[in-house]
Structure 1
Amino acid sequence: MGHPYIPEGYVFPEATRRLPYADTESPAVKPVWDKLGFVQDNLFRMLAHAPSTFGPLGSLVHAMLGDLELDIRHRELAIMHVDHVRNAHYGWAWHFTIARDDAAINEQQLAALQKGDIQGELWSEEDRAILRFIDEQIRNGVVGEETFKAAKAYMNDRQLVELLIVIGAYALIGNVMETTELQLEWQPENPLQRKPRA
């Protein structure tokens, strides 16, 4: 299955500097890979090293990107801010266009996120409440009472729990992406889409 970001003819590398990519044709991986219809990208090729968790995690990613009640803007604010805090350059690049084009997070706001500005004038009161919630959760593992109440004003119970799941899942995925040093499959033209690796 192709993807519009990955150039036609892209030759997938055999390894990062730290680890080889998994063999997606291996008997342990192929049935799960085929069943879930993964996009052939370097993230899923790395996650496939752990076949017993690869399938459930892949299903979770699919659900987060297509089956949530959570507002797409809240979802993408979470993903982009987690990627900023975790310095996940691979995830930042992949979600940049989704955040801008599908979630209406404009480039000024994305530039602010990249600088860690989550409370400035560019943000609505709702955005600030949601971003404060995301920030406290990713940095502290818990959210204060005032922050919780402010964010809860914009979400029902299901949406709030979905937001917590997105924050946690993308923190986990970011750990894999950056610790294994995944290579991005294309060179983004927009400088804002490129986040330097620390």
Structure 2
Amino acid sequence: MALVPYLSESDLAETDRELLGRPINLFRGLANSPDGLRHFQVLGQWIRHGCELDPRLRELAILQVGYLTASPYEWSHHVKIGHDFGVTDDDVTQLVRASNGEEHALGELETLVTTGAREVTADRSMSPATWSALETRLGRARLVDLVIVASFYSAVIRILATLQIDVEPDYAGYLEQFPLPEKPLA
């Protein structure tokens, strides 16, 4: 149960109601600070619609953060969102295998991207070898985008955990299909 009430549009001032255009529990909880939610959404919207990192790679990076941190909300939402951007069920299965140090069938670039996201999440920075390999493949601008994505979603999981935001029923099936580790790996 969340530590803050889930607000609806009717709980907000007229000027803040657009903040719940997508009334997911995360936004409904953050709406307790409308200005905070407004600024949170600016970066989130840029990541989703303005970031030039390939959307499939972006979603794999976000899924990597969600899996490593065993964040049910982030994981379940981004399995669904990942599907919208070309991530397949097999990609998710292979990401789980890679995260657990098992043999996997992710491609070379996908492996580099998830390794970079894993390092940012677990080690709080990317190794020079991973940085160099990714800079060669993605270019500096897209690599900085990847760092922003992994770092933002590392912050999101902390918000979700601290506020104890509940997974909506529409997303719960993804947790059954792709279970998270019992405790965080990072």
Q: TM-score higher than 0.5 here?
A: yes
Q: How is 1:87-102 mapped onto 2 (pairs within 5 angstroms)?
A: 87-102=70-85
Task: Show CA shifts across 1:68-98 (max 9, x none).
Answer: 1110122011110111112110111111123
Change (3 A) 1:72 1:175: same
What's the secondary structure of 2:137's corresponding residue?
coil
Question: Which runs of no fewer than 5 residues in structure 2 stay unpaired?
Answer: none
Q: Does 1:180 align with 2:182?
A: no
**Correspondence for 1:56 among 35, 39, 48:** 39
**Correspondence for 1:107 among 80, 89, 99:** 89
Deviating 4+ runs (over 6 angstroms): none
Q: Answer whether contact 1:43 1:182 (CA < 8 A) is retained.
A: yes
Q: RMSD of the alignment, in Å? A: 2.5
Change (3 A) 1:147 1:73: same
What residue in structure 1 maps to residue 137 of structure 2? 154
Q: Answer whether contact 2:7 2:31 (CA < 8 A) is retained.
A: yes
Question: Which runs of no fewer than 5 residues in structure 1 stay unpaired?
Answer: 1-15
Q: When the two structures are aligned, how many residues end up with a matched partner?
A: 180
What residue in structure 2 maps to residue 192 of structure 1? 177
Aligned-partner residue type, residue 156 of structure 2: I
TM-score, length-normalised on structure 2?
A: 0.83
Task: Show CA shifts across 1:128-172 (max 9, x none).
Answer: 111111111111111111110111122122211111111111111
Instruction: Give the fraction of aligned pairs with identical amino acids, expressed as a percent.
Output: 22
What's the secondary structure of 1:69's corresponding residue?
coil
